Amino acid sequence: MRSAQINPGPVGAFMGYDFHLGEEGPRLIEVNTNAGGAFLNAVLVRAQQRCCSGTQRVPGASDFDAAVIAQFKSEWRSQRDSGRPRSIAIVDDQPAGQYLYPEFRLAQQLFQKNGIEALIVSPADLRYETGALYAEDKQVDMVYNRLVDFALEAPSTQPCVRPGWMEAPL
């Protein structure tokens, strides 16, 4: 895996560790960078707390939005001294057809609510020109990688890959 040999600096927003329970106890089966379901679960927790009196409060649920934005700002600052991303590309193969597409939309809304332009695109929509990444003719500062091709080694991702751009500021 070529990308595993590169340290881009960021630790990764939404790092996820998937375990399966077996006869010998929990076993790590996957480390991923997309933590699918986080945005949907936050919406569900808020809905439950609003409609069901007496529902136990879930720690951190009310701070979810701020925590997400803080994660992405932290990733940005891990390679920049200051500022914040102006734009983020949420990237997955055929995004509108994905099971978790509604989650992509929730992420997009959260970023936009916080002054960060967010585009939902496939790798084919990305192009790297003159030292910058573009999608839909807009420069992309950061990628929120929702691809299952974590190493970005599939032929469809090759034209836009450069060392250090996965979930990292450009």
Residue-level pLDDT, tens digit, the chain, 170 residues: 455 566 665 566 777 777 888 898 888 887 766 667 888 888 888 888 778 766 666 666 678 899 899 988 988 888 887 888 999 999 988 999 988 899 999 999 999 999 999 999 998 899 999 989 999 899 999 988 887 665 556 665 554 544 344 444 44
Q: Tell me the β-bridge partners of 1.
A: none
The alpha carbon of residue 128 and the mean position of all alpha carbons in its chain are separated, in whole angstroms, by: 19
Check residue 84 and report its DSSP letter. -
- State how far Cα 120 lies from the chain centre: 11
| Whether the model pTM is above 0.85 | no
Chain position carrying tokens 């560790």: 17
Q: Beta 138-140 vs 132-135: how paired, if at all?
A: antiparallel
Which structure tokens are listed for 137? 């003719």
CA distances in angstroms from 107 to 24, 76, 156, 166, listed in the order given: 37, 17, 24, 17
Q: How far apart are CA 134 and CA 141, in angstroms?
A: 9
Query: Interhelix angle for 101-113 vs 64-77, to 10°?
Result: 80
User: How far is 21 from 29, CA to CA, in rounded Å?
Assistant: 10
Specify the pLDDT at position 3.
53
Question: Cα separation of 57 and 53, whole Å?
Answer: 10
Residue 11 phi/psi, 5-degree rounding, is -85, -20
Report how far residue 102's alpha carbon sits from residue 169's, in angstroms, rounded to the nearest whole number: 24
DSSP string, 3-57: GGG---S---TT-EEEEEEETTEEEEEEEES--TTHHHHHHHHHHHHHHSTTPPP
